[in-house]
Chains A and B, each alone.
Chain A
Amino acid sequence: DAGITQSPRHKVTETGTPVTLRCHQTENHRYMYWYRQDPGHGLRLIHYSYGVKDTDKGEVSDGYSVSRSKTEDFLLTLESATSSQTSVYFCAISETSGYQYFGPGTRLTVT
């Protein structure tokens, strides 16, 4: 398995609080991605990174920001969490912009 970890694995938070999810890789891959998975929607891309400090928006970026200050870490921040952001969040990595390897996921519940 590709060396990808996500933390925390589970989190419950209240509406309006900030939340940061971390993705860490040991593969030195250039590309990193954040997705959310919701019933009926499959996987939707939130943000991605194509290098240190190089990020771009995906399909559902509103309400989310990201940062990548090191190759191995990609952080996803919800500045003020809302109930609509309750979801399972997956990080993925790839060496080229082709096939991706996924982390184990973070289950976030916003009450």
Chain B
Amino acid sequence: GEDVEQSLFLSVREGDSSVINCTYTDSSSTYLYWYKQEPGAGLQLLTYIFSNMDMKQDQRLTVLLNKKDKHLSLRIADTQTGDSAIYFCAESENYGGSQGNLIFGKGTKLSVKP
């Protein structure tokens, strides 16, 4: 079945760039997503990318997709302490061309040190 893998922890200094990586298994996934979860809160959709795109940029966020290697990354430029959170990668199942349910990775906990 489908699986999504992420490293569990990342620590960076304030002002540096953060890169959170994810690998997935379903090559037919139509969309790939990044969610952010702050302590005690639900998941917030950060951004998503269509599978026919290589890159998507949204202010400080850059998503890179390498379909050949099934690798997705989220880069946060000028990381701030408010970016400290758990970041989840997710892929959508694909059922004959229709999107199915989301498969989530276990999440990467980003710690930003001042």
The yes or no verdict on A and B being binding partners is yes
Residues of A within 8 A of B (CB): 4, 33, 40-43, 45, 48, 58, 90, 92, 96-105
A-B contacts at CB below 8 angstroms, number:
47
Q: A105 near B48 (CB under 8 angstroms)?
A: no
The contact sample of 14 A-B pairs, CB cut-off 8 A, is A40-B106, A41-B106, A42-B88, A42-B105, A90-B42, A97-B100, A97-B101, A98-B30, A98-B99, A99-B45, A100-B45, A101-B45, A102-B44, A103-B42
A104 to B100, CA, bound (A): 23
User: Residues of A contacting B85 with CB < 8 Å?
Assistant: none
B interface SS class: strand
Residues of B in contact, count (CB < 8 Å): 22
User: Residues of A contacting B40 with CB < 8 Å?
Assistant: 105
Q: A102 near B106 (CB under 8 angstroms)?
A: no
Residue among B42, B43, B45 with the most chain A CB within 10 A? Answer: B42
